[in-house]
Amino acid sequence: MQAEKQDGSCVSPRESALAQGVRLALGALSVSAALGMLGNGALAQEQDGEAAPKKMQRVEITGSAIKRLESETALPVQIITRAEIDKAGVTTAAELMARVSANVGGLTDGASINIGGDQRGFNSANLRGVGTSSTLVLLNGRRMANFASPGDDAGVDLNNIPAAALQRVEVLLDGASALYGTDAIGGVINFITRKDYQGVELNAYGSGTQEGGAGKRTVSITAGTGDLATDGYNIFAVLDAQQTDRLSTSQRKFIPNLNVPERLGHLLSSFTSPANIRLSGAQRDHLQEVGFLLNGKPITNRQINLSIPDCNPPANLYLPNGTGGVDGCTYDYMRDTELYPKSEKQNFLSRGVLKLNPEHQVYAEVALSRSRTNYVASSTRVIGYLDYSKVPQLANTGFDTILDDDGKQVERELEVRMRLKEAGNRTSELTSESQRFVVGATGTVAGWDYDVGLNHSVNTVRDRDTKGYLLKDKLRAGIADGSINPFGPSSAEGLALIESIQVNDEVRHARGVMDALDFKASRALMAMGGGDMALAVGGEVRRERTQFRLSKLLMSNNINDDSAPEGGKDTNDSRTVQAIYSELLLPFTKQWQAQLSGRYDHYQQVGGALSPKVGLTYMPSKQVLMRASTGKGFRAPSMSDLHRPTVYSSTATLPDPVLCATVENNYADCAQNWDTRRYSNDKLKPERSRQFTAGVVLEPSQHWTFSFDYWNIKRTDLISEIGDDIILGNLAKYGDLVHRNKDNEIDYIELRKENRGAQKATGIDITADLHGVKTAWGRFGAHLSGTYVLDSKIQTSPGDAFISNLNKFVTDGVVQRWRHTITLDWDHGPYSASLSNTYSSSYDDQNSAINTDDGSVVKPNRVKAYTLWDMSGAYAVSKQFKLRAGIQNLFNTSPPYSNQAYFFLSGYDPTYTDPRGRRFYASANYSFK
């Protein structure tokens, strides 16, 4: 096998010392015994562009507490270097993780289009697609406080990772880590920062899009002083600031090309501007009897709009097959919202190390970050009521003089369903702030390598309604008295009223605190046939605290479109977590290595479990290595799962089969955004998991390396809710979760956390590396990293059939069969260039909104494969000054059409696609060393 130099070039065939280092390294997989081996480009070492030092140093690799010589790793770990980050032109941790093929369905700002979405502002990773809560994110090998805002997902906000300070990222793809925590069922992502930097470095980056919007500017400064070896200390700091512009639907040509109204008209909104009038049955019958005409024809529906067929485009359309029906207007979200939010991010990281003597060091680390994001959705919707006499077109229809079939007077009052554009679009400002302080000591005592640290980490999230949210009582009063005109421009008095009732209030405030004390120690025990037996032991005690406050205004339930949670109250919860682990490396021979490891975790209130793991590697020759591991894990329910306040939200626009059956399946009458209530559950049990991996690494020549790793994960006692689309699609089984009023119409749908069913996921990770090919035209290299998923499915409840989301959108997302990233590199003297491709395979669309007549609503669709090409080139003006320029989305590829209804009506899946289009960027780097 071959390793890489720190500059990315290839090392000559392994020397005897390196071979010994590999033998010592084989087998390290955190709690695992992952015993993988090199492969996947996994070289755990610093990279500043200089040649690799000749002196071999014992270092730590993500997934093991046993230090080993710096060389190829025995773990299925993917390494992303600083140079690769620069070539990709990404500036955030979230953008970087989008390029990792094993990361499926993480939370991004792209999905902010979903106004009802949970935990906006949270950018997360999701390895294997088994859930954000099952992917462990670390900074320099230690935990950070989770995103504080309560919701369905628990994890670290990638906005809080100081991207400019990153030296490399190590992605451990074998789950249930004994070293960091067995909640890492999907895997571990370790963001590693610089640790011994000297000098000053200045970076500037700017990008713009071809069609406008979503431009970005970043600046960073890095400074460090002191040589640890000669001066006995080092201290450095990194300050990074970036700003991204908003992107609205009007700025993208592909939005109208999606033909959302024609394809998905039945999933649009009946809240329009000018307003639709929702007639009672008696009112409709009366208008038909008096010969009232609309658009020159008698009305047929209970929903009418006096402006048809004009309807005030582009957002409000006359769409007979839409939710407005033939007599009303239909509102298209995608003509009146933002695709990508405006944001500002600042990160600061500082680290200092002091050498006490040759055996001992003390260190301290400070990380501060703030991310402020403005989410802009469609304008507010409201149901209002006014006397028919205030509507000129209906004033002479005589509702007050006619009796219905029961002899009662026909109602004078009209119900209007309006979208108040005059109030502006609904805008929320989400601020996520993080502080992390670590102090510790490391060194060697009596042959033991030790590391002990104290970690205090805080995340604070503030959610403020800033525009477009109005005081409900005064809004409805203004409609009733005619001050606010539902059918056209309001008077100056009405506009003044709208402005006076605008809400500017911090409606939600969340704070999460984690205090942890951890230690680990490792040493060689005795000589064996393949090297030294090594032992590691460690433990951790941490205290987790969460606080969640709701504003008095929110709790008054008087903010239109922002409802107070049922029984809402402030929460303040805490728990203690304790863990102890050990790891034993057994190099039986030069060919056979084994690793035994285990971890015991205990969560207050939830309980504890032992999670063992066994791993094995076999190297029949220097060109072949085989590895396998098996183990168990468990994930305790998050604080949010246990104690989150009830959340009021809504579904996508879906039909109610019961109501549809009574109105001849007319979606103008039976398809809506149904209210939901999301409940936590303090009786939840932990999820259990078992993992198995088996792989092979091949190096047929000095230029080629291949790896193939099969993985298999099963989770039981799954903590989840049943999807709203699944509930409405199977009312025979889940009808008790649909709460109805006295008229048998849906009041709300109950979404409650439970330990339900199971989840299975299997697949193969594939990597291929071509490195160190020198020619007269320069040096060439290439890298492929791909994931082929064999199976991905969820069992809703014990005994139910498994529902597959492999290559099929189910409830809230899809797991594509194949995803990859390919990079081609070239350099020659001061010049270098890179061409990369990211690819996601095609899949069957959601196709699940139900028509009780024929079992379908939308024409079945298969979402096309999504492939993006990026290109960049760099020129080293001098050793100190480097310039880079590039194009992202080289061919201006638009997101493929999707009929998914989870993210309201975007017409595409915003979780993995990028609406920004072709982007041009340039960066400059100047360093003083």
Residue, of 618 and 569, whose pLDDT is higher: 618
* Owner of token pair 């040509």: 253
The DSSP output letter for 461 is: E
Confidence at 79, pLDDT banded by 50, 70, 90: confident
Let me know: does 659 contact 854? Beta carbons within 8 Å. Answer: no
Let me know: does 543 contact 514? Beta carbons within 8 Å. Answer: yes
Let me know: does 180 contact 156? Beta carbons within 8 Å. Answer: no
Gap between the Cα atoms of 169 and 97, Å rounded: 10
Q: What is the DSSP string of 674-701?
A: EEEEEE--TTPPPEEEEEEEEEEEE-SS
Q: Which residues pair with 294 in a beta bridge?
A: 297
- Residue 29 to residues 63, 173, 526, 582, 813, Cα–Cα distance (Å): 5, 10, 20, 12, 30
Please give the mean pLDDT across all residues of the chain.
Answer: 85
Please write the tens of the pLDDT for every residue from 610-631.
989 898 999 999 899 999 988 8
Non-local (6+) Cβ contacts of 269 within 8 A are 323, 330, 331, 333, 381, 419, 653, 673
Please write the tens of the pLDDT for every residue from 194-210.
888 899 999 999 999 99
Confidence at 859, pLDDT banded by 50, 70, 90: confident
- pLDDT recorded at residue 484: 94
Question: What percent of the chain clears pLDDT 90, i.e. is strictly above it?
Answer: 53
Please write the tens of the pLDDT for every residue from 252-307.
999 999 998 888 887 788 999 999 999 988 888 888 988 899 989 999 988 999 99
- pLDDT recorded at residue 405: 63
Q: Could you tell me which of 585, 673, 680, 688 has the C-alpha nearest to residue 631? A: 688
Q: At 791, list the tokens.
A: 């199976």
Predicted TM-score of the model (pTM): 0.84
Please write the tens of the pLDDT for every residue from 351-401.
999 999 999 999 999 999 999 999 898 899 999 999 988 999 988 888 777
Residue, of 362 and 756, whose pLDDT is higher: 362
Q: What is the DSSP string of 134-175?
A: GEEEEETTEE-PPP-S-SS--S--GGGS-GGGEEEEEEE-S-
- pLDDT recorded at residue 890: 96
- pLDDT recorded at residue 112: 62
CA angle 303, 306, 311 (to 5 degrees): 95
Please write the tens of the pLDDT for every residue from 452-497.
999 999 999 999 999 999 999 999 999 999 999 999 999 999 999 9
